[in-house]
Structure 1
Amino acid sequence: MTLLSEILSHKNRFLKTIILFFSFVVLGATIAVIGPTLLDLRQAVNADSLQISVIFPIGSVGYLLGSIAGGVVYEHFDSQLSIAFFVLIMTVCNVVIPWNRSIISLSATQFVMGLGGGGLDTAGNVWLLHMWGKKSAPFMQALHFTFGLGAFIAPLIAEPFLSNKKNITESGEEVEVLVGTAFEDLMIWCPYTIIAGLGLATIISLVIMYFIKSSDKPHPSIQNNESLIIMTLKQKVLILLIASIIFHSYCGLEIAFGRFMTTFAFYSDLHLNKSIGAYMTSVFWGTFTLCRLLTIFIVDSVGTTAMIWADILIVMTSNIVLIIFDLVTLSPQFVSALHNHRYFSDEMKTVVQKLSTDGEKILFILVWFTRSRSTCDEIIRLLWESGQKEASQRLTHYNTSNGHMEFRIHPDIPLRECNAPMIGSLYYQMMRKPRGKCIIINNVPKEVYMETDRFKHIFEKLHFKVKPCFDWTAQQIEENLRKSSEKMVKSDAFILMIVSHGLEEQILGSDACEGIRILSVDPNNTEAQRLVNTDVIDIKRIVDIFSDKNCPILRNVPKIFYFTCCRNSFANQLSEQQKPVEESKNLAKPFVEVVSHEKRSFPNMKSLDEQWVDDNKDTFICYSCAEGHKSYYDEMLGITHFGQALSHTIAQYACEETLTSIMSRTCDFLQQFFEETGCYAPEFRGKGLRRQLSFNP
């Protein structure tokens, strides 16, 4: 049954629902109106800002007790009369509030107001579920939309009646100037009376509806037990606990922010008057209301869990920015360090230059750098180095960065799930399931037996369809990869990982790898020497198989290549033959003096022709070591140091950072192996990149 047909089938229920909506408009207006009128109330009771702020926790206690009492009253009395009773309490309090002349009486009134508001909140939600049962979802969204609507109009109602109070500064001191200092000159009784009038109209409507149609039967879906979900006591307690924690923090921020915004605008360095503060409060509640309306449609696309996490992260980021905003200054040292930082691109510099005030620039910089843990770490460092240590320390306190996770020696390591996917024009799309194909080729399974299992687990957790392959010759690598490219389907990304022996910009096939094992025992074996010389394939040739030209279905799709192999030259290896054997083995070819060939040439990735680059856009190439160096592995664990570092970094940070950031952290991770093996950091290159890549696990 559609929503319209549901309404037409239950006209009286719908009429009662409209009246309930109106009562929540009154609730929203009652909660919000105290924000823009707080400064006038402060004068009415002759209190300072700290003293008058006590009315909020007292009112919250009343709201808590009212929420509990609301359920009790609703159970024992008629639903409509219960709602009317709670609205009556708020109406009376709205009339009384502006006439209070002491902080004690105002606090008492706020407590009683909280009782009425909490009772209405609880009873109203329960009554709506009672009336519409399983069909209540759109009505519930609309109910809370009307609350926001009331909160939106309350500051607009209050603004014309605020006292003419301005904020000025003389010799660094704040001076308050008030036109009309007598209590009788205060006009805040007007907005409270208007809201009380709306409450009275709601009460009259509820009473009339009660006499017209007092029947309060539950919705048929409730009578038929259609909406009942069987849960254990443990499940109920867990859900209630989680919901309570979320609402505790979310509603507290929502109400406190809305109520203190006018006061903040008035006393901040902006020196805004109360009228502008009231309009700012209205904008806050208006945005709040609009987002509630949009949520009805967005939640169907991203899901409830993702929506909740996105909301929490946005709120946390906003509050962090507000906390340190006043402590950050655009000092010459800070600006210089910022402009030279790798995270601050030319596009960001252009945006900052177009902003007119330092406040706007600081706000943009803080929002940009607090979007993830790693970038937040960077702004903390920049602030500290530029001498702004208080801002740096405070931001450090609120940043949740932590060190690398503990080493795991088994293939299955836990991977943190993404709470808020990185989506939008700045990122490649990574939302399909599966994301795409991942091919892992291991030509040295005897040496690094755990590498394949580790990354099969990792990439499957990243929602890729993984195909592990072992012992492919150079010819098989090319032929099989070409077949895979021809069978490729539309996807969000493609990953190829090759673990093998290597030399500069070439990968050795399985026959060459076996030849290396033979040569380690019999250095003069000519057949093994021939295999090592011939069973090779250029990295450029592998990457080119999946270019836009050769694999058009992957056009505009990120292609990620991991090459875990050595990249040192013959000359370097020859010079290292006399060095002591290290505890950790490497994937370089041993005994190179018997297999070197002077005429052999290796394509240099840094000098690729422009046409090749044009044909290989959206390409990420990750090497396990820097150019000219070896790639090491742990013989006992059966995994390369690069594989250990990369897998742990992906597992910990893929949920919130981009691939570029993950590779940067992998480099940091590998530093702990440097003293043991002398291994160098991996190398990461991009070809024709248009966006950032986030795995969104």
Structure 2
Amino acid sequence: MTMHDQNDSASKQEFNSNETTKTVIEYGRNGKVQNKNEENLTFKHQMLHTICICISIFTLGWRNALIGPTLPDLRIILDENLATTSWIFTAKSLGGLLGAICGGFAYDRFNKIVVFVVTIIVMGVSAALTPWCYHLAAMLVVHGFHGICAAALETAATADMALVWKQKAGPYMQAVQFAFSAGAIVSPLVAEPFLADSISFPANFEPLVSNTSTLAPPYLKTTGNLKAVTESQSEQINGNTSVTVYGETLIYIPYGATSLLCLLSAGFYVVIYCVYGSVYNTLNNVPDCEISSNRNRYFLSKKVKYIFTMLLASAMLLYVVSEHSFIGFLMTFLVSERKWSKAMGSVASSVFWITFSVGRLVGIVVIKFISMSSMIFIFSVIYTSGSVLFLLAVIFDQVILEWVSIGVIGFGMFVLFSLVFSWLSKNVRTLTGKMASIFFIFMSVGNMGVPILIGYLMDKVSQMWFIYSNICLSFAMFANFIFALVSFNLMKRVHKRSEKANVMLKVEGGV
């Protein structure tokens, strides 16, 4: 080859290289490969979308935590006993069942941004209507709609973080969970100033009640008319020793604030969409180069996998029921049985949610050094110990221990939910969307009946059933976890021994 031919060849190679570079850049603009500026824009779009999700879940945590502290005031609005009012939790759980089924379907089949916006708006409307539902049927309907929206939003948000961030979704999942806790912490504190004041009179005391006002003691702060509880209701609440008079409830203000937060959250989605377009179209520019080729190989048989799945689903049912029942009836128990003020009860609810969040943060750090099985055991012990400590604190009338035990229960609870799903995915079977839906449906069905039973026992037998039921649920959950962990470890040892025996047989056969 002559020098001239070599120069021509080099020129062609350079030309082809330039054309290739040009094609790559243009190809990137068409949504396949991205340059640096497009990469930064994509990341910015992802972050803004994640912020929208966090705001939505913050609002969801706010709304969920509002039910417990305002439950006594919802009873005033409905003029019903605790056993009847407890149907609110069942309506919410039934809605959650429908939301878990429909939410994933809507997210997969329809425009995802529209699904988020519509779900949040409906949740805001149901929140705004809640304080104005004076009939039980209407109250159950709005809480049913809230359950549908809450389950659908939580399902869509979880799937969305996995879709938007792919293999990098871990920290953003944690951020979303923390946003839920943050909303749950703030909500009881915001609601406290607007709860109805109350005072108890001797059973033979007859306050002067007219059509427009009630003569109340001067030290009872009121903002309007007072409402006297009938003697039959007083028997159920205070053992026929007193009559309780309530001031006007203003919980339409915190519920209205919840509705406003929902509208703002939906507005953020619309603004981001109008400015940047759909984040899901932008994701076409993200190279999915981190797909792992390693897959877990589970040694359990199909039948044993089914048994372990049902066992862990039962444990999760006990966990969810205990969590919802504890925070749902905590305010009622502290006000009715322990004679705490509603302000103290609201602070106690916030203490629970604060330690709930701290437990999550601690779990994220500790899990790097301790196995998931050990983590499940440790936090189950913490939760069960907190339940027993709460019983002892109430029996011996130790207020400080009551505060401590509420915090311990919250600290031990939150990590368990995510740990069980992670343990199942690592050791038993792949956690698909279908499998997650089955778990949520199972938990929703179980959560529909137990709160009614607890409310009935508290109302008709003793308020102490709030603690008794929590202890029973915590011990049952603990026993369930221990049985699953021990059984799995035994099977794992047997499997390893059989593998070693097979290896030895192959070696001997080869020799």
Q: Distance in 1 between matches of 2:41 and 2:368?
A: 25
Letter paired with 1:10: F
Distance 2:79 2:342 in 1: 18
**Conserved 8 A contact 1:168-1:271:** no
Corresponding residue number in structure 2 for 1:10? 43
Contact residue 167 and residue 273 of structure 1 kept, 8 A? no
Aligned to 1:244: 313
* Unmatched runs of 5 consecutive residues or more in structure 1: 1-5, 330-356, 366-389, 401-414, 420-456, 458-697
SS of the residue 1:262 aligns to: helix
Shift of 1:250: 2.1
Kept in 1, the 8 Å contact 2:54–2:176? The answer is yes
**CA contact 1:36–1:262 (8 Å) conserved in 2:** yes
Among 163, 174, 191, which residue is 2:196 paired with?
163
Q: Normalising to structure 2: TM-score of the pair? A: 0.60
Please state how far the C-alpha of 1:59 moved relative to its aligned partner. Answer: 0.8
Distance 1:297 1:397, change over 3 A: closer
- TM superposition shift of 1:58: 1.7
Per the alignment, residue 70 of structure 2 pairs with 37
Once the two structures are TM-superposed, the CA of residue 174 in structure 1 deviates from its matched residue by 4.5
CA distance in 2, matches of 1:315, 1:73: 36
Q: Secondary structure at the match of 2:278?
A: coil
Does 1:193 find its partner at 2:256? yes
Aligned to 2:11: none
Deviations 1:242-263 (A, max 9, x none): 5533432222222221121111
SS in 2 for 1:37: helix
* Residue of structure 1 aligned with 2:278, choices 214, 234, 242: 214
1:262 and 2:328 are equivalent in the alignment: no
Write the letter of the residue equivalent to 1:201.
L
Match of 1:276 among 331, 344, 347: 344
Structure 1 position 231, deviation (Å): 6.0
Which letter does structure 1 place at the counterpart of 2:256? T
- Matching of residue 290 in structure 1 with residue 354 in structure 2: no
Q: Per-residue displacement from partner, 1:56-114 (whole Å, max 9, x unpaired)?
A: 01211111220111110001112222122221121111011110011111011111110
Whether the 8 Å contact between 1:19 and 1:202 is mirrored in structure 2 is yes
Q: Partner letter of residue 124 of structure 1? A: A
Per the alignment, residue 104 of structure 1 pairs with 137
Q: Does 1:51 align with 2:84?
A: yes
| 2:378 corresponds to | 310
Equivalences for residues 450-489 of structure 1 within 5 A: none
Instruction: Write the mapping of 1:621-636 to structure 2, written as runs, cut at 5 A.
Output: none
- Residue number in structure 2 paired with 1:116: 149
Give the equivalent residue in structure 2 for 1:678.
Answer: none
Quick one: structure 1 residues 206 and 363, their matched pair in 2 at CA, closer, same or farther if it must change by over 3 Å?
Answer: closer
Contact 1:67 1:119 in 2 (8 A): yes
- Tell whether the 8 Å contact from 1:320 to 1:398 is kept in structure 2 after alignment: no
> How far has the Cα of 1:398 moved from its partner?
9.0
Q: Which residue of 2 aligns with 1:175?
A: 242
**Greater RCO (Cα-Cα under 8 Å, separation 6 or more):** 2
Partner Cα separation in structure 2 for residue 169 and residue 230 of structure 1: 67
Shift of 1:319: 2.7
Is the 1:89–1:116 Cα contact (8 Å) retained in structure 2? yes
8 Å contact kept, 1:87–1:199: yes
- Report the Cα offset of residue 189 of structure 1: 0.5
What amino acid does structure 2 have at the position aligned with 1:309?
F
Tell me the distance in 2 between the aligned counterparts of 1:313 and 1:280: 22
Normalized per residue, the structure richer in strand is: 1
| 1:226 counterpart letter in structure 2 | S
In the alignment, residue 198 of structure 1 is paired with which amino acid?
A: L
Task: Map Cα deviations across residues 440-476 of structure 1 (whole Å, 9 max, x no partner).
Answer: xxxxxxxxxxxxxxxxx9xxxxxxxxxxxxxxxxxxx
Q: Give 1:88's aligned residue.
A: 121
* TM-score relative to the length of structure 1: 0.45
What SS does structure 1 have at the residue aligned with 2:369? helix
Change (3 A) 1:122 1:167: farther
Q: Deviations over 1:567-592 (max 9, x none)?
A: xxxxxxxxxxxxxxxxxxxxxxxxxx
Larger radius of gyration, structure 1 or 2? 1
Measured at CA, do residues 255 and 177 of structure 1 come closer, stay the same or move farther in structure 2, by a change above 3 Å? same
Corresponding position: 1:67 with 2:134: no
Compared CA separation, residues 143 and 91, structure 1 to 2 (3 A): same
Mapped partners of 1:186, 1:141: distance in 2: 36
Task: Tell me whether 1:139 sits opposite 2:205 in the alignment.
Answer: no
- Post-superposition shift, 1:132? 0.8
Which secondary structure state, in structure 1, belongs to the residue aligned with residue 79 of structure 2?
A: coil
SS at match of 2:69: coil
Aligned counterparts, 1:485-496, within 5 A: none
Give the residue type in structure 1 aligned to 2:267.
I
Task: Report the CA distance between 1:313 and its aligned residue.
Answer: 2.2
State the SS of the aligned residue for 2:190.
helix
The CA RMSD measured in Å over matched residues stands at: 4.0
CA displacement at 1:128 relative to structure 2: 0.5
Q: Alpha carbons of 1:179 and 1:362: their partners in 2 closer, same or farther (altered >3 Å)?
A: closer
1:57 partner amino acid = T
Secondary structure class of the residue paired with 1:247: helix
Determine helix, strand or coil for the equivalent of 1:178.
Answer: strand
Residues 223 and 64 (structure 1), Cα distance of their counterparts in 2 relative to 1, 3 Å cut: farther
CA-CA distance at 1:121 after TM superposition: 0.8
Tell me the alpha carbon deviations over residues 297-339 of structure 1, each in whole angstroms, 9 at most, x when there is no partner.
122122322222222222223334445765x56xxxxxxxxxx
1-structure distance, mates of 2:46, 2:143: 33
* Structure 1 residue 275, shift from structure 2 partner: 1.5
Q: Confirm or deny: 8 A CA contact 2:200 2:243 kept in the other structure.
A: yes
CA contact (8 A) 2:121 2:266 kept: yes
Q: Which runs of 5+ in 2 are unaligned?
A: 1-38, 205-238, 406-463, 477-484, 494-511
Q: Aligned pair in 2 of structure 1 residues 239, 82: CA closer, same or farther (>3 Å)?
A: farther
Shift of 1:241: 4.2
Task: Tell me the equivalent position of 1:226.
Answer: 292
Cα gap change, 1:46 to 1:228, in 2 (>3 Å): farther
* Structure 1 stretch displaced more, 28-37 or 307-316: 307-316
Cα deviation 1:351-396 (Å, max 9, x = unaligned): xxxxxx666689999xxxxxxxxxxxxxxxxxxxxxxxx99x9999
Equivalent residue in structure 1 for 2:265, among 173, 192, 202: 202
1:522-533 alignment runs, 5 A limit: none
Instruction: Tell me the distance in 2 between the aligned counterparts of 1:227 and 1:259.
Output: 45
CA distance in 2, matches of 1:275, 1:115: 30
* Cα distance in structure 2, aligned partners of 1:121 and 1:103: 27
Residues 281 and 316 (structure 1 numbering): CA distance in 2 closer, same or farther, change over 3 Å? Answer: same
Question: In structure 2, what residue type is equivalent to 1:140?
Answer: M
Letter in 2 for 1:203: A
CA distance in structure 2 between the partners assigned to 1:84 and 1:272 by the alignment: 40
Structure 2 vs 1, CA of residues 51 and 247 (structure 1 numbering), >3 Å: closer, same or farther? same
Distance 1:279 1:19 in 2: 28
* Counterpart secondary structure, 2:366: helix
Distance in structure 1 (CA, Å) of the matches to 2:202 and 2:294: 62
Give the partner amino acid of 1:157. V
Counterparts in 2 of 1:64 and 1:174: CA distance versus 1, 3 Å? farther
C-alpha distance in structure 1 between counterparts of 2:307 and 2:366, whole Å: 26
1:143: how far off? 0.8
SS at match of 2:68: coil
1:26 maps to which of 59, 63, 72 = 59
Deviates more, 1:115-124 or 1:252-261: 252-261
Q: Which amino acid aligns with 2:345?
A: G
Q: 1:139 to 1:221 in 2, by over 3 A?
A: farther
Contact map agreement 1:165 1:274 (CA 8 A) in 2: no
Shift of 1:55: 0.9
